[in-house]
Chain A
Amino acid sequence: MGKELEQIRIGFTLTAACFCTAVALAYGSGACSVPLANLSALMADSVMTDSIQEVVVTAREVRHSTSASLIGRMAMRHLQPSSFSDLLELLPGGVSKDPVMGSFNSIGLRQAAGMSPDADYATSALGTSFMIDGVPISTGANMQTSPDASRTDRLGTGKGVDMRSISTDDIERVEIVRGIPSVEYGELTSGLVNIKRKSGESRLEARFKADTQSQLFYVGKGFRMPSDRWVLNTGVSYLDSKIDPRNNRENFKRVNASLRSDKRWVVKGWNFAWNASLNYTGTFEHDEADPDLTVNNTIDYYRNDRHSFAWNSTLSLKPTAHPLLREVSLVSGVSYGDETLHQRKHVAPQRIMPLPVSTEEGSNYVGYLPMLYLADYKVDGRPLNSFVKGSLRLLHGNGALTNGFKAGVEWTVSKNYGRGAVYDVERPLVAGNNSRPRAFKEIPAMHQLSAYVEDEAKLYAGAHVLTLTAGLRATQLLHLDSRYVLHGKPYLDPRVNLVWNPGSSYAGGSAVSYEIAGGFGWHTKMPVAAYLYPDRLYSDFEQLNYYHSEEAFRVMNVRTYVEDMTNYGLKAARNFKWEVRGDVSWRGNRLSVTYFREDMKDGFRNTGFVHSYTYNRYDASAFDPYTAGRGPLIGELPFTEERYLAIRSKVTNGSRTLKEGVEYTLQSCRFPIVNTRITVSGAYFATTNCNSQALWYKPSIIVNNRELQYVGLYDDVDGSRYRSFNTNFFFDTDIPKLRLNFSLGIQNLWFTSRQTMRRDGVPVKYMDSGGTIHDYDEAALADPYLKQLVRHYSEATFDEMKVPSSTTFNFKATKSFWNERVALAVYVNRLITIEPDYKRYGITIRRYSSPYFGMEVNIKI
């Protein structure tokens, strides 16, 4: 008993205090005086109000041709998010997470909980398309990098959209398509995030939020303009987030501002609607060293400042009366980014570092790094993306059969005009780093042309309704060098969704409606510019190392190889998905269950290739520098020719991501009297990440003075299988009379598991330094050198690592005052956590977590 009690770790006093404040706030100072009898009367009274069914503070399963979640304004207000990342909690399988503002936030739809991001399996995130008011956010020309390994998780080349940068305040609703989206949407493999921003006249709204890490301010208003049917919306938000509240030198700041215009008019029987917006997003990531803590009071810093300006426009024409044509529209968008990554660091190497930095191929003499210098490293990125899409919609109705037809053409261009890394190559940020920079603007622009056609046929047969959506999308990169496999290669994405509504039956006097649906489809994501046009690789082979005690005699010579690392065979990543869905509704209660399977066999990753090099090893042992009065020159020394095998990585389509699972959502009606709605949602996810091609590996060991001169080829599957299963119970209560809305979320993560896939570690082939490939046989196993190629794995490596259940209680409340002019809201995540200790290999593992909380005030004037 005592142990159980111990396992229920209630948040410390601070949380308790916060909770009390929350309750007090929620009921308001006036509410406290309402006698209990009156309270229930108020509640009973409010049942009469029809509008309460409209209050949805969770994600709703969209009644759509595929599985998708809709998150509305109310849900966002109740959730009190800091950035778009927080919304994902509402999806089936989602659990609340604390904001992580110190690193790139990439999206991971339909994947097991507890997976850590891995650059080799980022295609799922890259292949989730974010659309804002019909215009996609393009990240194809983003190339910001840093050689400083401690910063890589802050950067997002090839990882898609950084959700930290998206503010939720101007969002009216978000539809997250987890299943098979319409062919109207392309450049995606895994999902679609379709954001619709607020439009329409509104009062001045302001929001101020504070949580453990951050403060957020927002002001927005919708203006009715003097001219007819013209509305202007504007919003500005500012987020100041500290990664660690105790350290104000490391922070993430974000500014979002937009001016959106919605103008409508009618000309000769045509309804014109023109939506245009001017948008700014700025993110500022700073991490500075504290001069009081550094030895020489130096200020070393990392700053990554990104400004993005975007112009979006949608012109739509709808005929007032046309037998077929419903809409013609032209969507365009231009965005320009000004990104500066600036890192300054005092570098004090611990060794004498030879520094080969020549960009010329051949033999080069090399200098040495000083023992203290100031590295000033800048990356200048200026991605420009433009997007134009023309589309039309037709509708043909014929009694029992209606056909909705869609077609469109889309053209995107992305190009980075930045100067790339700008720094003194002889003063690198990381001692010994010998990369040679190149300007991003040298990389050609990427052009992409897509077209789609889709037909949505609705067949009414008695009580049955059958909806078949079938579409085809073609995508192709243009102006690509003919050496690329992608040159002139169109990708065709057929996608089909079928929905069958078999009509209603009756139970308990109310209609029970059913929906059975399913679909399949291919989804294609083209590689980003950084994958198609990688940096050249510079390899420097040591030929002569002559570090004489006399400085004047010192000589170091390397053989420099400059290689183009372009993988001309790179293809697009393709994901094949299929799913089946069942949906039952009865008296405002709805159960929706989806089974899905997605298999992407050609995700992008870095794969090793064996490259063979030759260089000379010069012998200066007979050279007398005192006689010569100088150090040796390679031309006068005897040498032996050496061969060397190295593994060099290129971007390939070598990653496989297999996602499988069941998503479910049960949403009850709002129970009378208590005014509470119960939402039960969750998912079972099984995700496998592995390589889909054989891997080369060279052990990094030295035997008998030399690096091992063999490379092994392993057909092992280097991957892991992750699983998770969760159920979230969400009780939300809405009392309109009190203008009070509060909820308790109980999030149960029944288990998470990770299992490394079995490997035997014995190569199937090996390559000798001459480049000849041999079978790896018994004789090889006996050879003292060749046996070093065997990779040893203990049995435990392949054990399933299962973490048992964890349950958290999250509380949220919103209370409005003064005719809804002021609303106060509060949330506490992990108010209570139940995370039982568990044993693994005889070791007891205890889990601890602390609550996370925030408050906000919303004002409408």
Chain B
Amino acid sequence: MGTVKKFLYLNRTAPYGSIYAQEGLEVALIGAAFDQEVSMAFVDDGVFQIKAGQDSSGTGMKNFSPTYRALGDYEVTRLYVEKESLEQRGLTVEDLMPLTYEDEEDDYKEKPSIRIVDSTELADILARQDVIFNY
């Protein structure tokens, strides 16, 4: 395949109040098979999507949060989390799932996929993308 574009999936919504997060993750996983440069960003209530220890049993909805762990295997290794969104919700990086990937270029060392960025850095990252899917 010739064209390689920068794809970014911008997640803005909490995981269970609507289906955007779950179906958005499906797009990211399918998209990963197309050999594009893929990253994801989590802002606003979207940061709750990757919170550790999710228990959706009371809602009758499927807890799909383990699926985020597959992203590293699909070479989606850049998960940007907006610092301000975490802080506004009383969260820190320790509250998030320890999502990792194996770095092929560094002897398959396991490295964290989550990168905390502030809103200015995130704006720069968004400006560099070719395609942004927002949910």
A and B associate in one complex: no
| Partner-B contacts on A (CB < 8 A) | none
